[in-house]
Structure 1
Amino acid sequence: MPTAGTRIGAEVAKFDALAARWWDPNGPMKPLHRMNPLRTGWIAERIARLHGRDPAAPDALAGLSLLDVGCGAGLASEALARRGARVTGLDAAGEALEAARAHASAQGLDIDYREGLPEDLPDHETFDAVIALEVIEHVADRAAFLAALARAAKRGAPVFLSTLNRTPRAFLMAKLGAEYLLRLLPVGTHDWRMFVTPGELGAGLRQVGLGVADITGMAMDPLTGRWRATRDVGINYLVMARG
């Protein structure tokens, strides 16, 4: 697989191919649409509390700068921009970014979408929060990726990651079940060997000067399709880290 920095060419092409249907709530990104309220709500609540704000306020993130790494077509970027954040969305998939720009414009949202990799950001550009959701299991160099996220965060600012645990249960449900049996995701979306255990992620974060400050599992109700926070991190999980 050709790589350039943390980028894997085949992974970028995979998500570029989905660009046209990214915003279809019943299309190939349906699981992310369903998961997004939980992910962005959990993140927004913690950012707001760190800044002494009411997490329930509609503009709880007003004026705060946020970097969304691997933003795709902007599901999380838009949700956090609606809470007042000044969002920069970064992705290596150019076609997905075109879909992101078009959708944000139609919604009247001012989001700075850029094509590139986090390691290419200038050292002087830092943010009040950095997020990378369902990205680390698709990168070529996990250590370099985490180092780039840490550099992009202001001193003491939170870094959020969501990913999939490398467990037999995750293989059965997130790989075989979601891709082959239920067809919730296109076949080939994930490589189970690239899933990341919480222990591995925590160790990688410590190596770049960050410590896990909070963690939650994410589980889907098979009857309603809604996602909820849970103590079970055996499949999907979300982490907040700080320096």
Structure 2
Amino acid sequence: MSSNVNVDPGEISRFEKMAATWWDPRGEMGPLHSINPPRVRYIEQCAGGLKGKKALDVGCGGGILTEALVAKGADATGIDLAEASLEVAKLHGLESGIKANYQNIPAEELARQQPESFDLVCCLEMLEHVPAPAQTIKACAQLTVPGGTVVFSTINRNPKAYALTILGAEYVMNLIPRGTHDYAKFIRPSELAQWAREAGLEVVAMKGIRYNPLLKTASLADDVDVNYLMHCRKPA
């Protein structure tokens, strides 16, 4: 892999090892299955509907979001650099009959090949896993058609987020594998908003995601203290 690709090999290795459990709602990816429905509802609202939209899922992993976008009527492509995760996504698509396109390609490279090609670009739970998140954000902006929608999600950087996401989820309740998150890579909303604006995007709104580990349910919330989504628009 080229040294100038915006990727942490350790992160790719970690997600490769978890590939087999992507579609097990009782496994390591269980929380992701719980938060996906409210994420999709928010994305659908931001995009003004998904039917007929050309959508891109950046950092798609095993395709949980990508398939959900297709199920809502979008023509969706998922990209990732973890080959094992992409294989799982492709196999699950064959089993489910939900047809999405998957590619092993960096967002930056796809932006060079297909600039301004997608009505909707989603980059969820990924920015906190790359060395240069601002670079990924810029690529997402380049990939979006003028007037198109971009939705990011990540984790806020503050003591509450550390306590819930790392101490609670990884070490106390063992909801996700230890070492999944690095607190130093968490991103404050002000930082994400600044990078989005520097990439030429308009910040429209933000919404938090609240996860209940006991009930294994999730919902949208007004507080963005921990997990949050940011809705951006590329000026027409």
Normalised TM-score (structure 2): 0.95
Q: Distance in 2 between matches of 1:209 and 1:125?
A: 13
Instruction: Write the deviation string for residues 102-159 of structure 1: whole angstroms up to 9, x where unpaired.
Output: 0011111111000011000114461000001100000111221111000000001111
**Residue equivalent to 2:223:** 232
1:171 to 156, 159, 162: 162
Structure 2 residue runs of 5 or longer lacking an equivalent are: none
Q: What one-letter code is carried by the residue in structure 2 that aligns with 1:235?
A: V
After superposition, the Cα gap between the structure-2 partners of 1:199 and 1:124, relative to the gap in structure 1 and judged at 3 Å, is closer
CA contact 1:67–1:131 (8 Å) conserved in 2: yes
Residue 230 (structure 1) shift: 1.1
Q: Distance in 2 between matches of 1:18 and 1:143?
A: 26
**Residue equivalent to 2:143:** 152
List aligned pairs for 1:27-106, cutoff 5 A.
27-47=27-47, 49=48, 60-106=49-95
Residue 76 (structure 1) shift: 0.4
**Aligned: 1:15 with 2:15:** yes
**Residue equivalent to 1:131:** 122
Q: What one-letter code is carried by the residue in structure 2 that aligns with 1:84?
A: G
Instruction: Write the deviation string for residues 180-205 of structure 1: whole angstroms up to 9, x where unpaired.
Output: 00000000000010000000000000
Q: Secondary structure of the residue that 2:190 maps to in structure 1?
A: helix
Q: Secondary structure of the residue that 2:146 maps to in structure 1?
A: coil
**Residue equivalent to 1:53:** none
Q: Distance in 2 between matches of 1:125 and 1:16?
A: 30
CA contact 1:3–1:9 (8 Å) conserved in 2: no
CA contact 2:209–2:229 (8 Å) conserved in 1: yes
CA contact 1:3–1:140 (8 Å) conserved in 2: no
**Residue equivalent to 2:233:** 242
CA contact 2:70–2:76 (8 Å) conserved in 1: yes
**Residue equivalent to 2:108:** 119
Normalised TM-score (structure 1): 0.92
Q: Which runs of structure 1 show a deviation greater than 6 angstroms over 4 or more consecutive aligned residues?
A: none
Q: What one-letter code is carried by the residue in structure 2 that aligns with 1:162?
A: S
Residue 62 (structure 1) shift: 2.3
Aligned length: 231
Q: Secondary structure of the residue that 2:196 maps to in structure 1?
A: helix
| Identical pairs, percent | 39
Q: What one-letter code is carried by the residue in structure 2 that aligns with 1:79?
A: A
**Residue equivalent to 1:215:** 206
Once superposed, what is the RMSD of the aligned Cα atoms?
1.3
Structure 1 residue runs of 5 or longer lacking an equivalent are: 50-59
List aligned pairs for 1:183-198, cutoff 5 A.
183-198=174-189
Q: What one-letter code is carried by the residue in structure 2 that aligns with 1:214?
A: A
Q: What one-letter code is carried by the residue in structure 2 that aligns with 1:9?
A: P
Instruction: Write the deviation string for residues 202-243 of structure 1: whole angstroms up to 9, x where unpaired.
Output: 000010111210110111234422111111101010011112
**Aligned: 1:142 with 2:139:** no
Q: Distance in 1 between matches of 2:95 and 2:4?
A: 33
Q: Distance in 1 between matches of 2:42 and 2:73?
A: 16
After superposition, the Cα gap between the structure-2 partners of 1:123 and 1:86, relative to the gap in structure 1 and judged at 3 Å, is closer
Q: Distance in 2 between matches of 1:66 and 1:43?
A: 11
